[in-house]
Amino acid sequence: MDSLPFYEPGVPNISSPFAFLLWIARNQLKVILFGSVFGILSIASLAVMPGFLGRAIQAIADHDPSALTRWVLIIFALGIAQSIAGVLRHRWAVASWIIAATRLKQIIARKASNLGADLPRLISTGEVVSVNNNDVERMARGFDNIPRLIGSVLSFIFVAIVLIRSSPTIGLIVILGVPLMALAIAPIIGPLQEREAEQRKKLGHSTNLASDTVAGLRVLRGIGGEEAFIQRFKIASQEVRAAAVRTARTRSLLQALQIVLPGVFVLIVIYAGGNLVVEGRMKVGELLSFYGYSAFLVLPLRVMTETAQRMTSAAVSARRVIALLSVSTLNHWGGNESPDGNALLKDEVSGIEIHPRELLVIVSEDPVIADELSDRLGGYVDAEKVTLGDYSLIEFSRDAIRRTIYSQEKEPAILSGTIGSIFSVPNSGRLSIDEAIDAASARNILDSLEGEGLDAEVVERGRTLSGGERQRLALARTLYVDAPIVILDDPTSAVDAHTETRIALRLSEVRAGRTTVIFSNSPLILDRADRVEFILNGAIQEQGTHHELLLRSQRYRELVMRGA
């Protein structure tokens, strides 16, 4: 069995759901084959059982103790063989499911890693969670039934041959009846697939809505919008419930037909066989064998329809996984691995120029424009419109840009773990973790957490921390990385004035000799800047020092001194 996780999960064929599922099957062919061997042995043991039971009954009718003993021993051996083969078949079937799920999760994780910061800009968090949990599970479940399917098909062929040789009339009834039952069930598969696809779509939407609501709960409560979002989620969840009910109705009809049609079929076989016994053309033991064979054929039919159901769900889920894997990055990067961190960084859209080794603060009336500019300068969107020295950012590799330009978002992510794990990032080695924490005025945060120093624990997404504490921890991590160019989007918006003063002073000290860009309207930050650029409608309006702009620009003065 393959060791998990895979060192390299492979590159899937995502041209279609069928090609995708076939690619997965080919990559675990050994496991499927082993499972199929035991599946054949397990179901074949059941398939031949009615013949031996019929012979044992006939031995009783013929008063032949020795024959009865022989057939009973054979039946006992078959039972033991069937049990062992069944256990091994199940083991390999579960292995097939686990291997498929692991491979899919690794492929999705690799895609998410390759997309990097593009991921939340292209796909909602709820959609990714839904695909990685529900759709991967459904696709993987499509493979654990394959050993039973192969064993069922081969056993059906064997039983059909036995029946035709024993009684052509009843044999033909069986051979024609089972495919007809399958044809009767087939028209339900299409509608089931459509309804499952609709249910999966609505579930993904509701999951996304729930994730967004939970993530923004504090803000929603602050603006009184909590009830409105709860109502939206109620409506979405009811749509999911209605879609699930429609799917369940179709599935219940399919399951009912799986019981009714084989039952009717067995009655027909027993009726035909009973007439042959009455006419003396068939022995009682043979009739019992025919009944056993007919009852057994219900199993292959059920396995076939169950497999059809699972593969239908797998195909629906495969489309959603393919949609995720087909997402392209926002920028198409080049191969230059040597960007100059001391070169001029320029945004061609706004005309903003960031000179090497300066502390530049950008002031904007519109926070949306500021966020867009921050994303461009960081190389997250429209990287072709930003130059570093003589080159556009997209001429470099993405990894090279990420090493050179470190951008901190307005609401940075803090993952669960220890404080030490938060700082497990590539860094220049110029600053220690303690120096970075002190520079960000974050020392008191460690004292408020469980554990000591770098062993202090941070819970998921830092939800027990205030907004200001999360900002300061993220700023400490950014300063510790010490990239040649750092972009900070409003890094002190959630801290008090005294803390902001300390951060402004220490930040200018630790970033001396490095290029630093800060988006902020705070006078405390602006006062420490080497240069300030004031932008309106996405273009430069004024530039100079903070004090120069206060003197010559009334609009600038009104903006930055508001509330001061």
From the number of C-beta atoms within 10 Å of its C-beta (0-12, 13-18, 19+), residue 294 rates as buried
Kindly list the structural domains of the chain, giving each domain's residue range(s) and its CATH number in brackets, ordered by start.
17-325 (1.20.1560.10), 345-560 (3.40.50.300)
pLDDT(264) > 80: no
Contacts of 465 (CB under 8 A, 6+ apart): 414, 445, 458, 473
Over pLDDT 70: what percentage of the chain?
89
Nearest-angstrom CA–CA distance, 522 and 564: 9
What is the torsional sign of CA 475, 507, 341, 518? Answer: positive
8 Å CB contact between 37 and 31: no
Model confidence pLDDT, tens digit, residues 476-509? 999 999 999 999 999 998 888 899 999 999 999 9
pLDDT-based confidence at residue 393 (cuts at 50, 70, 90): very high
Q: At 544, phi and psi to the nearest 5?
A: 155, -160
Beta bridge partners of 488: 408, 518
Nearest-angstrom CA–CA distance, 120 and 112: 10
Residue with tokens 């076989």, as numbered in its chain? 269
pLDDT of residue 211: 61
pLDDT(200) > 80: no
From the number of C-beta atoms within 10 Å of its C-beta (0-12, 13-18, 19+), residue 276 rates as middle
8 Å CB contact between 378 and 410: no
Cis preceding-peptide flag for 5 (omega within 30 of 0):
yes
pLDDT of residue 276: 72
Model confidence pLDDT, tens digit, residues 58-111? 788 778 888 888 888 988 988 898 899 989 988 998 999 999 999 999 999 899
8 Å CB contact between 39 and 148: yes
Q: Kindly state the DSSP code that residue 491 receives in the 8-state scheme.
A: T
Closest alpha carbon to 416 in 453, 491, 470: 470
8 Å CB contact between 407 and 374: yes
Model confidence pLDDT, tens digit, residues 323-369? 999 998 888 899 999 999 999 999 999 999 999 999 999 999 898 89
Model confidence pLDDT, tens digit, residues 536-551? 988 899 999 999 999 9
Tokens of 143: 């493979």
Tokens of 493: 């918006």
Of residues 146 and 279, more confidence is placed in 146
Contacts of 429 (CB under 8 A, 6+ apart): 482
Q: Helix-strand-coil percent breakdown of the chain, rounded to 5?
A: 70, 10, 25
pLDDT of residue 212: 58
pLDDT(223) > 60: no
Closest alpha carbon to 138 in 316, 315, 314: 314
State the average pLDDT over residues 516-521.
Answer: 95
pLDDT of residue 564: 52
Helices vs strands, H then E, count in the chain = 21, 12
Beta bridge partners of 489: 519
Of residues 183 and 399, more confidence is placed in 399
8 Å CB contact between 441 and 452: no
Q: Which amino acid is at 139?
A: M
Q: Kindly state the DSSP code that residue 327 receives in the 8-state scheme.
A: P
Sheet holding 386-388, edge to edge: 353-354, 345-347, 386-388, 391-392
